Structure 1
């Protein structure tokens, strides 16, 4: 999408949905759970705080980054994420972006919550005087967890399909005939409505465990939110049902996200001239993958 077309679509969406710029809000730590539905968050989160709901500036991560950062300056903030759309943030828009994936390898390996947590803790230790934004990729697909693995195995055996991202590195790419994730499997009728909701909840609970570990260490006022919501086939756009999310989709529900405020002792943060964004080395990512059994060497 060229910049002019993107700007026109942004104006259209902004006229329809009055969203909030989360970077302008009052926080020391912003924890973003990618594609988190507010109802599921309310049901499963274990934290004591003030929960409300906000309208995001995006129905997708790319739209979220563009609308929150374009033309703005946040030189008091470090942004940690495994989301590849973070490349949309210019180096002169923020003090530093720390990517949990290697630019030279499959970026999906940087999606693991263990990797994001590890990098976030190291970044917090290195930059205690900066606001910290930590963008976990869960509960966004591809789904992690035991139930998700069982579903993928069943669908693979019954329908001879291959899942695009959640696979062993040594797996034969030609072993099966299709490339889908579990949300697509639900769309095609390979799994049920109850199963996709259960696997989504499993993924949310998994990332919340890592958020708890992060909160055990970091200090300051923390907000937990999402960049956009997620349709499990139950949101409708102008062209029919939505599965997942879609950039600039005309759907208010895709922009409704949780906003949980956890008050803590405030940190002193200040702005400095920005530094070049960095990516995590591949060996750090691979170590986490080995620990989880995703790869064997």
Structure 2
């Protein structure tokens, strides 16, 4: 629809009768601006991206939506923390660029990310998806301590394979003390029914101006990292071989985009702004490396569509 067709007297009268229409139009305009910024960011950002599967490691620990700057100041890995650029600004883009089209039959993927079901059969030797049997109904996520236990179990079962373990944190839902007080219900906002079918999404609430609780949301996000890091450190200490701790992508907390200078939150797909794709890279060397062998893929257990949709909704993803 043309601008003249959209912004006319008839529509102005509709807004006077129903002011909530302004909110929907604001969301539409911001979405259009995000798409324009994403297009420009991909054109301008041609720096080399990390190919995680080509790097040297026995264990790859992936944190979800973890900023490099926050990790570097909070993780107990000292000067072993550097940064690399992710090939994606959201989880599926990272997975698609890193895993799809490859035969990674020397690797087992332990995951709590709801996009993992999209990976083609035969990509890994085995996929251990925790979103069904190990889902925490209270917190609506897979807890970091569960990730540790199931990853160690996977290593015991597959001692001659590389292990990837994909934590959901620091991505919300918020599981720390402050985050629990805030909760999903504590993020006050009004969303159009056709744009919201599940739990509130805190970053979208900030992006679309539907909450002013910015500092509390950012504190809960940082707390999610603080709660998770001790579990990551324990896992790295117990797994034999060389480990790398990284993230699939970062998370914007109000940085302005280009060329339309709008404050942006979360991790919009295709938006390759440096603060969003710069991820931590901590290498923890070991005295001995694992002997790794490739074997034919195992048949993976599939989740039902209802479970997939529920997990995507609770973790803030739209399908």
TM score, norm. by length of structure 2: 0.71
Q: Does 1:214 align with 2:235?
A: yes
Q: Which position in structure 1 is the counterpart of 2:294?
A: 271
Q: Answer whether contact 1:13 1:250 (CA < 8 A) is retained.
A: no
> Does the CA contact (< 8 Å) of 1:91 and 1:275 recur in 2?
no
1:1-297 correspondence to structure 2 within 5 Å: 16-48=46-78, 50-102=80-132, 109-152=140-183, 155=186, 159=188, 179-187=199-207, 188=209, 190-236=211-257, 238=259, 240-264=262-286, 265-278=288-301
Q: In the alignment, is the contact (CA less than 8 A) between 1:101 and 1:109 conserved in 2?
A: no
Gaps of 5+ in 2: 1-38, 192-196, 304-319
- For 1:62-101, what per-residue CA distance to the aligned partner results, in whole angstroms no more than 9, with x for missing partners? 1001001122221110011110111232222211111111
For structure 1, the residue ranges without an aligned partner over 5 or more in a row are: 1-8, 163-176, 281-297
CA contact 1:219–1:267 (8 Å) conserved in 2: yes
Q: CA deviation at 1:49?
A: 5.5
Q: What CA distance in whole angstroms lies between the structure 1 residues aligned with 2:254 and 2:246?
A: 22
Larger Rg: 2
CA distance 1:270–1:237, shift in 2 (3 Å): farther
Which residue does 1:3 correspond to in 2? none
The question of whether the paired residues in 2 share the 8 Å contact of 1:49 and 1:261 is answered with no
Per-residue deviation, residues 20-73 of structure 1 (Å, max 9, x unmatched) = 111111000000010000000011101246221101111110100100112222
CA separation of 1:138 and 1:88: change in aligned 2, threshold 3 A = same
User: Secondary structure of the residue that 1:142 maps to in structure 2?
Assistant: coil
1-side partners of 2:58 and 2:271: how far apart? 31
* C-alpha separation in 2, matches of 1:263 and 1:198: 32
After superposition, give the CA deviation of every residue in 1:208-256 in whole Å (9 maximum; x if it has no partner): 1211221232111000000001011225255533210011114232111
Q: Which moved more, 1:177-186 or 1:242-251?
A: 177-186
**Aligned equivalents of 1:251, 1:47: Cα separation in 2:** 26
* Alpha-carbon distance change, 207 to 190 in structure 1, aligned in 2, over 3 angstroms: same
Q: TM-score, normalised by structure 1?
A: 0.76
Report the alpha carbon displacement of residue 279 of structure 1 after superposing the two structures with TM.
6.5
How many angstroms apart in 2 are the aligned matches of 1:98 and 1:179?
A: 26
Q: Distance in 2 between matches of 1:120 and 1:181?
A: 28
Match of 1:138, SS? strand
**Residues of 1 paired with 2:45 and 2:295: CA distance?**
34
When residues 89 and 106 of structure 1 are mapped into structure 2, their CA distance, relative to the original with a 3 A threshold, is farther
> 1:64 and 1:151, CA in 2 relative to 1: closer, same or farther beyond 3 A?
same
**In the aligned structure 2, how far is the partner of 1:272 from the partner of 1:135?**
22
Partner Cα separation in structure 1 for residue 229 and residue 152 of structure 2: 16
**2: CA distance between counterparts of 1:40 and 1:21?**
22
Give aligned pairs, total.
254
Superposed displacement of residue 179, structure 1: 4.1
Q: Partners of 1:207 and 1:190 in 2: how far apart?
A: 26
Q: CA RMSD in A?
A: 3.1
Shift of the 102–20 alpha-carbon distance from structure 1 to 2, 3 Å rule, reads same
